[in-house]
Amino acid sequence: MATTTWDKIAAVLGEGKPKTHRQIVKATSLSGSAVWSALNYYWKKGLILRTKEPIREYREYFKGRVGIKGNVRSYYLYLLRPKDIGTLSLVGQQFVTYSEEYLDKRGAKGESKSQVVLKFLEENRGHAWYSKEIAEALKDWGVKPSDVMSTVRRYEKKGLLYVRGYRSHDRQTPFKQGYLITWLDRVKLQEEAIKEAVQRTERALAKNASTSPIIERIHQVRGEIMAATQLKDLVSFTFLQNKMNCSVDEAERAVTRALQLYSDLKEIKLFNNYRYYYHDSMSPEDLKAATILKENYIRMMKGRDARIGHNWEACVEWFIDKFTRGAEFWTQKHRTEGMDPRRITLHLIRSVGDRRRNAEVDRVWTVTPGVFSKPVTHVLECKWGLIRKRDVDEFFDVLRWSKEFGVDTEKGRAIKQGIIGVFAGGAFNPREKVHVNGEDISLASYAARMNIQLLKATDFNEKLQERGCEPRITVQKVCKRAKDEEEVKETLDALWGNPKKGGEALAKLVERNESLYSFERMLEGKTPKAAAGSL
């Protein structure tokens, strides 16, 4: 019967299978510290073999209401040493006798990895470090990124370290080089210590600005918002994009990251559409006053954009009505008096962008090509301005998530057979390429793959020229000069009926609506000459 510690350990290892420290503790009923000390002692004595490298194993545990948690466990395997054998390969592991080169580096240096990490941060308390930088600096001690973050999280809870990453609404994610970590001075007041820690992380982020355009834009966004807040003003998304001199997508990414990174930057949506930004140091009174000013500005300044947008819808609808034969247009009663009954409200089973339960489309019509042919339904969406991929994607999502035109399939939600989307835009970005299946294709080709037809203003201009209008007579000019949708249709009727007098028709629009243009010029602060050129 085994009586001594060695007898008990030898009996367990005598089965011939490698065992871990925990398995030996469980089998011998000895304490963990006693087994650990004995294993090290007998390994040095040459009685047992140990794996050359520690084994790392990730395990998940169910923690009830908290959910599933996971951690990385490191351990060694032990084996009785056969006579006259110094090394042995078994179960994919190399077992070795004692040697200083095989010592765990934590023991070799006299302190654990967590102590090494903490000491490094304390000795370099004047700087903030990315977790990958710490692992690189301490790699000779065997420290890895996983060792760094397990240590950091433990000491963060004790108030010794400050950890910073990208912040979203309810979580924090690491930067490209990992989390930023710096020392918290316990001698100082907590508020002061945290303030200094934040400043150190700011300097660390600024160091990467020259090599990272996104970081430069993030700092620019914060600077513009802070400056505007000092002036008790709000900053629009368009203003930030123009300041950064980048594309809409690049500006979106920079603003989103800035809001994640700096929780003191706030966004406010006016009329559920126009985005403005401010710093939370702005008082409620100043914020309310600035919001009222911006709302009044939007009401005045966006009047021209709204007018042209509605005029473009009327223009597209006129051509659809003119050239569609044998079509049955859908109609719908609306609560709003005067709303065109051929504008259709779709019901969404899932939100698409800012559209929650409903989405409007400009026309829906069904055509039956022949007696034995299935009917084809066309759905029209109009938008003035430069159209991008995301506009087409949103229209596609409206169709597939609508009750009327979407259907559930084995591969997910899709558009029903026999439904064709028609997207009419003022112009489509010719330089925008869409990356699909390893190749770059044009926006038109991308839309065609989704069975969406694109209509441009130039398509309608070609129809006018085929009718006999001069090239200078364009639908863009009609939309800009007409005061409302009814006037757009009247002008197009006149151009189609008498194409040779198209110039006179446009001249009459300018003369008739000069007071409207003058009012819009006054709101926009443009000179009469500059505004006339825009018509």
Tell me the pLDDT tens digit for each residue of 213-251: 777 788 889 888 988 888 889 998 888 988 888 877 888
Q: Where are the alpha helices (DSSP H) in 401-501?
A: 443-449, 457-467, 475-481, 485-497
pLDDT category of residue 133 using cuts at 50, 70 and 90: confident
Range with the poorest average pLDDT among 125-134, 139-148, 235-244, 483-492: 139-148
- Look up the pTM and report it: 0.46
CA-based torsion, 30, 36, 40, 43: positive or negative: positive
Q: Decide the pairing of beta strands 419-428 and 452-456.
A: parallel
Q: Which residues pair with 419 in a beta bridge?
A: 377
The radius of gyration of the chain from alpha carbons, rounded to an integer in Å, stands at 35
How many C-beta atoms lie closer than 10 Å to residue 126's C-beta?
Answer: 10
- Percent of the chain having pLDDT more than 70? 87
Distance between CA atoms of residues 366 and 330, nearest Å: 8
Q: Is the pLDDT of residue 66 over 60?
A: no
DSSP string, 218-245: HHHHHHHHHHHHHTT--EEHHHHHHHHT
Asked if the domains 109-207 and 304-534 are classified in one and the same CATH topology, the answer is no
Class of domain 210-301: mainly alpha
Of these ranges, 172-186, 273-287, 427-441, the one predicted with the greatest mean pLDDT is 273-287
Domain spans of the chain, in order of start: 5-103, 109-207, 210-301, 304-534
Helices (H) and strands (E) in the chain, counts: 21, 25
Cα separation of the two ends of the chain: 104
Q: Is the pLDDT of residue 524 over 60?
A: no
CA distances from 243 to 64, 246, 379, 414 (A): 50, 8, 38, 40
Q: Where are the alpha helices (DSSP H) in 245-388?
A: 248-261, 284-301, 303-323
Contact 458, 414 (CB under 8 A): no
Distance between CA atoms of residues 449 and 452, nearest Å: 7
CATH 3.10.20.340, applies to 5-103: no
Res 212: pLDDT: 62
Q: Decide the pairing of beta strands 419-428 and 376-387.
A: parallel
CA-based torsion, 378, 383, 384, 389: positive or negative: negative
- What phi and psi, each to the nearest 5 degrees, are found at residue 420? -120, 120
Identify the CATH assignment for 304-534 out of 3.30.420, 3.30.460, 3.40.1350, 3.40.1000: 3.40.1350
Distance between CA atoms of residues 442 and 428, nearest Å: 10
Q: What is the mean pLDDT of residues 307-332?
A: 84
> Scanning the structure block, which residue is given the tokens 């010592």?
103
Would you state the structure tokens that stand for residue 488, as one six-digit string? 């757009």
Res 107: pLDDT: 43
DSSP string, 371-424: TTSPPEEEEEEEEEEEE-HHHHHHHHHHHHTBTTTEEEETTEEEEPTTEEEEEE
Q: Which CATH architecture has domain 109-207?
A: Orthogonal Bundle (1.10)
Range with the poorest average pLDDT among 11-15, 44-48, 92-96, 304-308: 304-308
Sheet holding 161-164, edge to edge: 129-130, 180-183, 161-164
Phi-psi label, residue 412: left if phi above 0, alpha if psi -120 to 50, beta otherwise: left
Give the 3-state secondary structure of 151-165: HHHHHHHCCCEEEEC
